[in-house]
Structure 1
């Protein structure tokens, strides 16, 4: 698996203040980037998944993910927020970075689950988390995240 994350998928200093604003931003970007054709359907998919249990992980990271018929091609987006985001997380700490995984509904779970698994594994590594938190170069950030899919 490769080429899911491009520098155009990396967004720095996003002004969102809470999970809803973050998911709205991600849904909008999926349409703007041409990966989806219905912003509301993507947002509904993100929110449906979030209602099953938070995608806020540990140490300031979240892995929101959506599967929808509105999503035409798999994409991974990275958002670094300008401040802390109000987002329920496993360690009760605010979110600073979201790595969003979006896949077409027709994906029977293999790509979606594999991407989710690989990101979750990488988030257990201090060096990966530190690199994402300290880097502000979209090209390098894309390469860091892309590297966990190889």
Structure 2
């Protein structure tokens, strides 16, 4: 798995202000669309929302991992938003979310790539040091370095 093909600093935003999960997912869709990773921002957004309607992606510990598989996704992508203030997400631990690590997966890669990325992220997110590093990074570069360290 080549991390440079999955994420770059243009796919990271720190200090975003939002009042709702929907607004956060809209911003994620915009980031991924602006980077040329999806051909239709609205379809990707709807995929993220559909996944949330099925089951929360709120991992717990202030982190969510929303994801969508779609034919509009051109390239497997990880995007990250760290919020200025936490947002209600209906997370598994009942706490609001401050860090969102979103996945965009092309429909044709949905099995293998999707599961590899989710497994790697989930495994590392169980580690307090990794979560702390993500939540305390002060710049896009620092956040990118932390994510890059696990792939």
**What TM-score do the two structures reach when normalised by structure 2?**
0.95
Please give the per-residue CA displacement for 1:50-98, whole angstroms capped at 9, x wherever unaligned: 1110000111000000111111011101110010111110110000000
Poorly superposed stretches of 4+, deviation over 3 Å: none
Cα distance in 2 between the residues matched to 1:16 and 1:117: 28
**Quick check: 30-39 or 137-146, which moved more?**
137-146
RMSD: 0.9
User: 1:127 Cα deviation (Å)?
Assistant: 0.4
Report what 1:37 is aligned to: 39
Q: How does 1:1-150 map to 2 (within 5 A)?
A: 1-2=1-2, 3=4, 4-149=6-151
User: 1:108 Cα deviation (Å)?
Assistant: 3.8
Cα distance in 2 between the residues matched to 1:5 and 1:125: 21
Cα distance in 2 between the residues matched to 1:84 and 1:40: 24
| Conserved? CA contact 2:69–2:110, under 8 Å | no
Cα distance in 2 between the residues matched to 1:126 and 1:108: 29
**What TM-score do the two structures reach when normalised by structure 1?**
0.96
- The size of the alignment, in residue pairs, is 149
